[in-house]
Amino acid sequence: MSYQAERLSREKVFRDPVHNYIYIQHRLILDLINTKEFQRLRRIKQLGTASLVFHGAEHTRFTHSLGVYEITRRICDNFQRNYPTQTPGDGLWDDHERLVALCAALLHDIGHGPYSHTFEHIFQTDHEAITVAILTSPTTEVNQVLRQVSPEFPAQVASVIQKTYPNPQVVQMISSQIDADRMDYLLRDAYHTGTKYGTFDLTRILRVMRPYKDGICFEISGMHAVEDYIVSRFQMYQQIYFHPVSRSMEVILSHLLKRAKEDYAKPGNQNEAGAPYLLFPFFNHEFDLDDYLLLDDGTLTTYFAHWRRSNDPILADLAHRFLDRKPLKSVKFNEHTKDKIPELRQLIEKAGFNATYYTDTNNSYDLPYDAYDPKMKNPLTQIELMQSDGQLIELSTVSALVSAITGKFSGDQRFFFPKEMLSSKESNVELFDPVYKAFQAYLHNDYII
Amino acid sequence: MSYQAERLSREKVFRDPVHNYIYIQHRLILDLINTKEFQRLRRIKQLGTASLVFHGAEHTRFTHSLGVYEITRRICDNFQRNYPTQTPGDGLWDDHERLVALCAALLHDIGHGPYSHTFEHIFQTDHEAITVAILTSPTTEVNQVLRQVSPEFPAQVASVIQKTYPNPQVVQMISSQIDADRMDYLLRDAYHTGTKYGTFDLTRILRVMRPYKDGICFEISGMHAVEDYIVSRFQMYQQIYFHPVSRSMEVILSHLLKRAKEDYAKPGNQNEAGAPYLLFPFFNHEFDLDDYLLLDDGTLTTYFAHWRRSNDPILADLAHRFLDRKPLKSVKFNEHTKDKIPELRQLIEKAGFNATYYTDTNNSYDLPYDAYDPKMKNPLTQIELMQSDGQLIELSTVSALVSAITGKFSGDQRFFFPKEMLSSKESNVELFDPVYKAFQAYLHNDYII
Amino acid sequence: MSYQAERLSREKVFRDPVHNYIYIQHRLILDLINTKEFQRLRRIKQLGTASLVFHGAEHTRFTHSLGVYEITRRICDNFQRNYPTQTPGDGLWDDHERLVALCAALLHDIGHGPYSHTFEHIFQTDHEAITVAILTSPTTEVNQVLRQVSPEFPAQVASVIQKTYPNPQVVQMISSQIDADRMDYLLRDAYHTGTKYGTFDLTRILRVMRPYKDGICFEISGMHAVEDYIVSRFQMYQQIYFHPVSRSMEVILSHLLKRAKEDYAKPGNQNEAGAPYLLFPFFNHEFDLDDYLLLDDGTLTTYFAHWRRSNDPILADLAHRFLDRKPLKSVKFNEHTKDKIPELRQLIEKAGFNATYYTDTNNSYDLPYDAYDPKMKNPLTQIELMQSDGQLIELSTVSALVSAITGKFSGDQRFFFPKEMLSSKESNVELFDPVYKAFQAYLHNDYII
Amino acid sequence: MSYQAERLSREKVFRDPVHNYIYIQHRLILDLINTKEFQRLRRIKQLGTASLVFHGAEHTRFTHSLGVYEITRRICDNFQRNYPTQTPGDGLWDDHERLVALCAALLHDIGHGPYSHTFEHIFQTDHEAITVAILTSPTTEVNQVLRQVSPEFPAQVASVIQKTYPNPQVVQMISSQIDADRMDYLLRDAYHTGTKYGTFDLTRILRVMRPYKDGICFEISGMHAVEDYIVSRFQMYQQIYFHPVSRSMEVILSHLLKRAKEDYAKPGNQNEAGAPYLLFPFFNHEFDLDDYLLLDDGTLTTYFAHWRRSNDPILADLAHRFLDRKPLKSVKFNEHTKDKIPELRQLIEKAGFNATYYTDTNNSYDLPYDAYDPKMKNPLTQIELMQSDGQLIELSTVSALVSAITGKFSGDQRFFFPKEMLSSKESNVELFDPVYKAFQAYLHNDYII
């Protein structure tokens, strides 16, 4: 029997708190899970710094990747049962696409490194490019497994993730407004944070999802379930992903990595005990895939532990602030009050902090939030409902709720600064009291005024 | 206001998936959570290698410690509301004990290091002794916070954990057959593994729990809830904590650390790039508290990543097996078949494996399983029910279910060996086929025969 | 000790699937639950005909009333713990109001009869007036219990339900945009229907709820929890309460009761076996409280069972359709297509149905849906958020989601007709085929065209 | 297409709180659900008087029957996917059996009347015989639907319920130690009561369930899931089904019906207003199927409402006690204290109660509790586990927990009496104080002494 068709004699299951069980039916999938590149995802937390705010959210990209696979598997099952293709081009589901879809689902995040968002920013890495490299480079175990299906298979799986695969149904399972990726992370993050906002009716959405010529749409009878998903997603971003303390810890992490890059670029420093030698290739942007695959969350925090003892006080302090969770404070600002920030930075310098490392601004725009916006150029952003006569209609035209949040900005802009600036008179450092007081006069009701 | 009595002006809450919210009402507790020793628990997984079997179980000792605190807080609230002491010695609850109980609950696990069970075995450390050291050593942040209550307070909290504190009610809240520690970990491990066995009715147990002169007992009306807890605990041990694959990964970890200790004891090896210099103090058993507190799960796995590239093939292979999750296989044996193990080890050596590093036996006895056994010497092991006339009666005398599992051994003994030994004829390594065949003839129905 | 202050020596609990436990702490509350008027609520389903669509939703007003009590109790506990009044008129919580609040919460639905919405329409009863009568009439057990507190107490409790009680905090606990009544029914109906739309974070809402001078408001930090509640409520109306099949069964019930009223008004008919003698007082609108309190869901269905055997074919058929769940079909119409309804009714008459009894129109406006609309005259409809400087701000001005659904009509208008009209050619009744065909030509995509 | 093979063009789903969705795939099943006999189950509560103790448990046999159908459907799906028969007699699953299994599952309770346990006892009815009659009598709608499959089909379905159907796999799906019936009611009763005891891992049990020559067995890898089910069942009986207050309400119901039977047997009484004319056929045991099918819970409570006004004070009082939930009190007794009961009854008579109607004894033996007992004669009671070599082994031989509760009596014997007997001195009825005191001297710690 050919490898791709090889089904496990007895399907294997993994206990999963979100989907109850994850069903593995192909040897190929089991082999992929057992690669070292995939096992490495066990050591990379899904939510990064958000776990420092929502303490239950310590789950990893490994767990999430299995979940995305499982949802994709259920979509395929449903399509195969209810919408099997009869003649080529009829817009229905061709189950020969199942394997490429399952592999893409399982591997879509395999290029992620530790604290991706921040790491990529500082070291100019690109997890999507690395994902493609892991799939297509002959040195990886993942590639060796995929190649057993056919020589072209690794590139096919990669093209699904790159959205260039010819069958739009397969692409949209993995990447669209309602895809297996988003559905899994919303449910999973909600489960582990313990919030209720992210819950929506997955079973019902899977039931009303159906293939059509240009991809995937939803039966109109399921409009409310889809609407509920969009609202849940909106709420999760507001409540979890944009949380100011989580963003503050990202600011610290970012400044810490930047400082380390500067410090260890200096000749001589690279030989000291505790030097982050697994990071060196990244300081010069001369890393290869092997270098990248050695990194995980623990590698970074292990170096941070070393840096606690560094002679550079800023490096040591930032490492301490990150490991011991000492977030910066923040306030909101807007276009009118933006101009006050230089004055605030000056006061912070007066209080003894290097403003380059101890202040920052960011807004939730910067985060990868995908507000639903059907008018965007990207053809994937439309959610189409199929009416009983077969015509499609875009979701926001029939849902008042979705229309309300469509394409709207819903984040905020924040200025981050050391908590010490909020000290009150009773503090021991009387010296800085006037500075603190001057600083505090700029703030009211969580805003710069 | 004295520090110990200082309540937060507004109670603070932490979102928790198991208890919904965790309520922080004292500045003292908040300050303890913010110490570096406590924050470090975020980097130590609660279940160690079991997370390699139950992928959702990636939660840490940080999360669990907050949960133990919260359950203790609820017990105190209940005792204070329903059983406040009137006269000294009346066996009711004196709420002045609340603070010492809460601190002991929060800090009971603070001495844990990475993969404690195995680490302690190899490096002769003792997490309970280290817990006491962290509480009482003047260099720790935890001690500095506790000392603000009174100079004796750190030692008092330590004595609760050591079970020498004079008030048995406080001791039993933290350490007894039904204590806050066990109740939290059962519920939390069940939640994150996604199994249902560990769930029991916490609210009801808290309701029927009450103080008496010699500690804590339960109203007889709650007998079934207590019974259900005992059965749940039994099932969690059978299903989760004794899982053969988890134990197999512990075997690998143990052999890996042992090998590293041997390798790096050799002079010269300590200077190579990637040498585990944070572990050196442990190789010689010359570590201090600071050395210990720098370690976490990530430190170990970072060194394992280094060791993948080691020149010692056994060290490199074991590191690979641990990081990439390649468990040994295992079979059960008993007193009658124990004698076959040397023969099996010989076959394994013939197949090219160093039996010292690639085989092992263990039984679930070795694990810290606390079967309920009222006849044990330890006076804490009795669960007493209070009848309506005030008399106490021991649980197993009235519960058929509990009686059934009281003091019974319920684990198994297993022999671990490389998966390769189960290879079938179709394997590429024809050379070893007769050896494999000979080996397999010893096994039947998951047993050595 | 005075009756009102009398606490049970040991609080009593009721197991509840939604709130886990319901805590009874006053003898007064226990006595009220044990009255015959309150026990009668066990025989009146909460959701009426909706249970014919969502089969799990068979819970009663008894269960819901306990839930409203429990939420109110928790609000009082929170207010007393965090916002106890210091000086009269300071806008904080005076716990002397607790008892009147708890009683009003428990009893707010006590005047409901079977299938209230429809029953009231046909028989011109008014459950709110009857609630007040039950509270204040000296013949009821409820009144006898309440009077033990003080002679004025029954009227005070009634005035809370009538919204004339002087303390707006107490009134708003029971009747406002976010009151204990709505919060319980949304959670409970969601639980029993098995839908997920109605779930919101009750614990968090209770945490951010606080008293102020003019009633109850919410801390701004809880804005998203409040927003989520409003969205959940919106979704429950769309999905559950406005369900077309449920409305169709109400149409049948309404016509059945109307027909019975007409039939049994005829002299002579009242003596036949199976005559609904418990309903006679309502046919003439000459009922007293005792007559009303004998009715429950079972009384009506028992009469319907009798009527199955009636000589009046329309009465017998409608009874059959209700008991055996044979809903009418329905389509939507709008202002433009409204005019076609007389033509449709003519076709239905041609097919042999009496259009008076077998067709109807209704729209979800007719249902007691409370869209959130802060601009309505009623001062209770505002949800106010308290900012950190103490100023209030109305919810829809800061929430895009709430603003989107504020005051908007979100229901539909439907025309109901016998399912037979949709028969296809293959039906046995070829005679009517042309009529059916003509009828069906008016319908497209669930609309009249 | 033949009727039995007719699949709905689009499967239909019912929202279910326990199973999430119930999937209807055959027109036959939908037609059966729409019969009047099946719809009648909406008006018969699953738990009878237990809903007077666990207020959330107001669900009906309709809901439960759908659940049993759904579990059976999932078993068939699993069997068909994993164990399809290859050659006749190979002990695997023949999917031609699916339809008879589904119908038997759906209809297994269709013969139940209101408060079956008590009703049958008083009126000598037999719900199993009536189930068979409903299936096989040509007058019922159920029979008319079933007959469309084939003339023999109704009798075949009946024979499954009677356990005489030749294929033991089909019989055991519906009636065995782990059948769809028990699994549904445990989960459903747990859900609606809000207790946690009844929850077990249905998905896992279905996964390890498999057909074999003599019926259904379980893979040994699922031993703990099966064990957990047995323990859950044990606990549900202890906690819910044997609850003393629920049994007390059954005592009242039983005496009430007995009294009514006596009263209305007297000529003349049958003509009074409010006479229970739907019950007359049962008083004389001269009922037919139509008479039986008119009864439901509401019929009985409607008559009870009439009887409140009866001239017979005992009938009126018992009706009041049942409708207004005034349970008798009870104490346990054993073989040694049994002899005291006549003395207690005498005291109760002295206090003015007719002991025939106001006292009773019962024990939980009387209830239809199926303790797991493999040694019973009935061949269905064995739970067999299949080992990896294909050999079967009986559950209690490998499970300490199951062995502990196997075949053990776990109920209690109780004596029921009026609550008034526990009145204390402060009662208003000083007259009876000495009698009460004498009575109470017999009781200690919930036992007769």
Give one word for B215, left, alpha or beta, with left for phi > 0 and alpha for psi -120 to 50. Answer: left
Mapping DSSP to helix (H, G, I), strand (E, B) and coil, where does residue A264 land?
A: helix
Lowest mean pLDDT among A273-277, B132-136, C304-308: A273-277
Say how far apart CA A221 and CA A242 lie, in whole Å.
32
Question: For residue D118, what are the contacts with CB-CB under 8 A and spacing of at least 6?
Answer: D48, D250, D253, D254, D257
User: At CB < 8 Å, which residues of chain B contact D?
Assistant: 195-197, 199-201, 224, 227-228, 231, 234-235, 238-239, 387-389, 400-401, 403-405, 408, 410, 444-446
Please provide the average confidence, as pLDDT, over all residues in chain A: 90
**How, if at all, do strands C392-394 and D7-16 pair?**
unpaired
Say how far apart CA C82 and CA C76 lie, in whole Å.
10
Chunk chain C into consecutive blocks of 10 residues (it has 449) and report each block's average pLDDT, rounded to whole numbers: 68 93 95 98 96 96 98 96 92 96 98 92 93 97 97 98 96 94 96 87 94 95 91 88 94 96 81 80 90 95 92 96 97 93 96 95 63 59 88 88 72 92 71 88 90
Nearest to A203 among D20, D203, D204 (CB): D20
For residue D1, the model assigns a pLDDT of 47
Mapping DSSP to helix (H, G, I), strand (E, B) and coil, where does residue A233 land?
A: helix
Q: Which of chain B's residues have a Cβ under 8 Å away from the Cβ of A320?
A: 36
Using an 8 Å Cβ cutoff, are B374 and B383 in contact? yes
Say how far apart CA B355 and CA B348 lie, in whole Å.
7
Q: Which of chain A's residues have a Cβ under 8 Å away from the Cβ of B277?
A: 273-274
pLDDT tens profile B301-326: 999 998 998 999 999 999 999 999 99
pLDDT tens profile D317-354: 999 999 999 999 999 999 899 999 999 999 999 999 99
Tokens at A415, concatenated: 């200025």
Residue keyed to tokens 């066995």: B197
For residue C1, the model assigns a pLDDT of 47
pLDDT interval class at B270 (50, 70, 90): confident
Say how far apart CA C318 and CA C260 lie, in whole Å.
10
Q: Which of chain A's residues have a Cβ under 8 Å away from the Cβ of B321?
A: none
Q: Which of chain A's residues have a Cβ under 8 Å away from the Cβ of D20?
A: 203
Nearest to B324 among A39, A273, A274 (CB): A39
3-state helix, strand, coil in chain B (%, to 5): 55, 10, 35
> Which chain A residue lies closest to C238 (C-alpha atoms)?
A224
Mapping DSSP to helix (H, G, I), strand (E, B) and coil, where does residue C15 land?
A: strand
Using an 8 Å Cβ cutoff, are D4 and D152 in contact? no
Tokens at C273, concatenated: 């076996």
pLDDT interval class at D396 (50, 70, 90): confident
Question: For residue A164, what are the contacts with CB-CB under 8 A and spacing of at least 6?
Answer: none
Residues A86 and A207 in one domain: yes
For residue C369, the model assigns a pLDDT of 46
Question: For residue B99, what are the contacts with CB-CB under 8 A and spacing of at least 6?
Answer: B4, B26, B28, B149
Does A239 contact C224 at a Cβ distance shorter than 8 Å?
A: yes
Counting residues of chain B whose pLDDT is more than 90, the rounded percentage is: 72
Q: Does A224 fall in a domain?
A: yes
| Residue pairs between chains A and C whose CB atoms are closer than 8 Å | 60
Amino acid in the structure at residue D106: L
**How, if at all, do strands A360-363 and D392-394 pair?**
unpaired
Mutate to test the interface with D, among C9, C12, C15 (most CBs of D within 10 A): C15
What is the per-residue DSSP string for C96-135? GGHHHHHHHHHHTTTT--TTHHHHHHHH---HHHHHHHHH
| Residue pairs between chains A and D whose CB atoms are closer than 8 Å | 12
Say how far apart CA C58 and CA C51 lie, in whole Å.
6
Question: For residue C342, what are the contacts with CB-CB under 8 A and spacing of at least 6?
Answer: none
Does B16 contact A194 at a Cβ distance shorter than 8 Å?
A: yes
Q: Please say if the pLDDT value at position A400 is more than 80.
A: no
Q: What's the whole-number mean pLDDT along residues A40-52?
A: 96
What do you get for the CA distance between the two ends of chain C, in Å?
71
The CATH number for B154's domain is 1.10.3210.10
Nearest to A445 among C201, C239, C387 (CB): C387
Q: Domain limits at C288?
A: 250-327
Mutate to test the interface with C, among B9, B23, B207, B221 (most CBs of C within 10 A): B207
pLDDT tens profile A276-333: 888 999 988 889 999 999 999 999 999 999 899 899 999 999 999 999 999 999 999 9
Tokens at B76, concatenated: 């105190």
Nearest to C191 by CA among C126, C236, C238: C236
Helix (H) or strand (E) run with residue B438 in it:
helix B433-440
Does A193 contact B320 at a Cβ distance shorter than 8 Å?
A: no
Question: How many angstroms separate the CA of residue B50 from the nearest CA in chain D?
Answer: 18
Q: Please say if the pLDDT value at position B367 is more than 60.
A: no
Using an 8 Å Cβ cutoff, are B256 and B319 in contact? yes
Does D400 contact B404 at a Cβ distance shorter than 8 Å?
A: yes
Residues B211 and B278 in one domain: no
Does D301 contact C43 at a Cβ distance shorter than 8 Å?
A: yes
Residues B306 and B372 in one domain: no
Does C274 contact D277 at a Cβ distance shorter than 8 Å?
A: yes
Q: What are phi and psi of A38, to 5 degrees?
A: -75, -40
Mapping DSSP to helix (H, G, I), strand (E, B) and coil, where does residue C423 land?
A: coil
> Which chain C residue lies closest to B9 (C-alpha atoms)?
C82
Q: What's the whole-number mean pLDDT along residues D63-82?
A: 96
For residue A424, the model assigns a pLDDT of 75
> Which chain C residue lies closest to D65 (C-alpha atoms)?
C55
Q: Which of chain C's residues have a Cβ under 8 Å away from the Cβ of D297?
A: 298
Q: Does A32 fall in a domain?
A: yes
Q: Does A66 fall in a domain?
A: yes
Mutate to test the interface with B, among C204, C208, C221 (most CBs of B within 10 A): C204
Q: Does D394 fall in a domain?
A: no
Say how far apart CA A160 and CA A155 lie, in whole Å.
9
For residue C445, the model assigns a pLDDT of 83
Q: Please say if the pLDDT value at position D165 is more than 80.
A: yes
Residues A220 and A338 in one domain: no
Q: Which of chain B's residues have a Cβ under 8 Å away from the Cβ of A326?
A: 34
For residue C388, the model assigns a pLDDT of 86
Say how far apart CA B19 and CA B144 lie, in whole Å.
29
pLDDT interval class at D44 (50, 70, 90): very high
For residue A369, the model assigns a pLDDT of 46
Using an 8 Å Cβ cutoff, are C357 and C319 in contact? no
Tokens at A42, concatenated: 């066990």
For residue A146, the model assigns a pLDDT of 97
How many helices and strands in chain A, by DSSP H and E? 21, 11
Of A219, A242, A265, which residue constitutes the final position of a domain? Answer: A242
Mutate to test the interface with C, among A228, A403, A440 (most CBs of C within 10 A): A228
For the stretch B225-235, what's the b/e string if a residue is b when 16 or more beta carbons lie within 10 angstroms of its beta carbon? bbbbbbbbbbb
Name subunits touching D (3+ CB pairs < 8 A). A, B, C
Q: Which of chain B's residues have a Cβ under 8 Å away from the Cβ of A58?
A: 42, 58-60, 63
Q: Which of chain D's residues have a Cβ under 8 Å away from the Cβ of B444?
A: 389
pLDDT tens profile B205-254: 999 999 999 999 999 999 989 999 998 888 898 889 999 999 999 999 99
Residues B335 and B276 in one domain: no
Q: Packing angle between helix B127-136 and helix B98-107, nearest 10 degrees?
A: 130
For residue B380, the model assigns a pLDDT of 55
Using an 8 Å Cβ cutoff, are D48 and D247 in contact? no
For residue D291, the model assigns a pLDDT of 93
Using an 8 Å Cβ cutoff, are A95 and A84 in contact? yes
Q: Does B385 fall in a domain?
A: no
Residues D141 and D166 in one domain: yes
Nearest to D139 by CA among D273, D12, D254, D291: D291
* Eight-class DSSP state of C328: P
Nearest to D281 by CA among D295, D301, D297: D295
Tokens at B2, concatenated: 């004295």
pLDDT tens profile D423-447: 876 555 667 888 999 999 999 988 9
Mutate to test the interface with B, among C207, C219, C220, C221 (most CBs of B within 10 A): C207
Q: What's the whole-number mean pLDDT along residues A263-281?
A: 80
Say how far apart CA A37 and CA A143 lie, in whole Å.
10
Does B20 contact C203 at a Cβ distance shorter than 8 Å?
A: yes
Rounded to 5°, angle at Cα B201 from B198 and B203:
135
The CATH number for C275's domain is 1.20.1250.30
Q: Does D110 fall in a domain?
A: yes
Highest mean pLDDT among B279-293, C302-316, D149-163: D149-163
Q: What's the whole-number mean pLDDT along residues B51-70?
A: 97
Of A188, A214, A242, which residue constitutes the final position of a domain? Answer: A242
Which residue(s) pair with C417 in the sheet?
C329
Nearest to A17 by CA among B191, C93, B337: B191
- Considering its fold, how many domains does chain B have in total? 3
Tokens at A359, concatenated: 């202040």
Does D389 contact B234 at a Cβ distance shorter than 8 Å?
A: no
Nearest to D203 among A10, A21, A82 (CB): A21
Q: Does A220 fall in a domain?
A: yes
Residues C256 and C237 in one domain: no
pLDDT tens profile B377-436: 555 568 999 998 899 999 988 887 888 777 665 678 999 999 999 987 655 666 788 899
Say how far apart CA C200 and CA C209 lie, in whole Å.
14
pLDDT tens profile A117-151: 899 989 999 999 999 999 999 999 999 999 999 99
Residues C92 and C173 in one domain: yes
Say how far apart CA C131 and CA C113 lie, in whole Å.
10
For residue D372, the model assigns a pLDDT of 66
Does C207 contact B13 at a Cβ distance shorter than 8 Å?
A: yes
Residues C230 and C254 in one domain: no
pLDDT tens profile D187-229: 999 999 998 777 889 999 999 999 999 999 999 999 989 999 9
> Which chain B residue lies closest to D230 (C-alpha atoms)?
B401
Name subunits touching A (3+ CB pairs < 8 A). B, C, D
Does B20 contact C207 at a Cβ distance shorter than 8 Å?
A: no
Q: Which of chain D's residues have a Cβ under 8 Å away from the Cβ of B403?
A: 404
Q: How many other C-beta atoms can be found within 10 angstroms of the C-beta atom of residue D449?
A: 12
Q: Which of chain D's residues have a Cβ under 8 Å away from the Cβ of A21?
A: 203-204, 207
Q: What's the whole-number mean pLDDT along residues D367-383?
A: 61
Residues D259 and D172 in one domain: no
Question: How many angstroms separate the CA of residue D299 from the nearest CA in chain C?
Answer: 5
Q: What's the whole-number mean pLDDT along residues D58-68?
A: 97
pLDDT tens profile D238-275: 889 999 999 999 999 999 999 999 988 777 777 776 68
Say how far apart CA D123 and CA D132 lie, in whole Å.
18
Of B327, B349, B369, which residue constitutes the final position of a domain? Answer: B327
Q: Does A192 fall in a domain?
A: yes
DSSP alpha helix (H) spans, C324-381: 341-350, 355-358
Say how far apart CA B310 and CA B256 lie, in whole Å.
12
pLDDT tens profile D15-33: 999 999 999 999 999 999 9
Q: Please say if the pLDDT value at position D400 is more than 80.
A: no
For residue D267, the model assigns a pLDDT of 74
Residues C137 and C163 in one domain: yes
What is the per-residue DSSP string for B371-400? ---TTSS-GGG--EEE-TTS-EEEGGGT-H
Residues B296 and B424 in one domain: no
Name subunits touching C (3+ CB pairs < 8 A). A, B, D
Using an 8 Å Cβ cutoff, are C157 and C97 in contact? no
Using an 8 Å Cβ cutoff, are C111 and C132 in contact? yes
Q: What are phi and psi of D12, to 5 degrees?
A: -105, 145
Tokens at C335, concatenated: 């202002």
Question: How many angstroms separate the CA of residue D16 from the nearest CA in chain B?
Answer: 20
ipTM for the predicted complex comes to 0.93
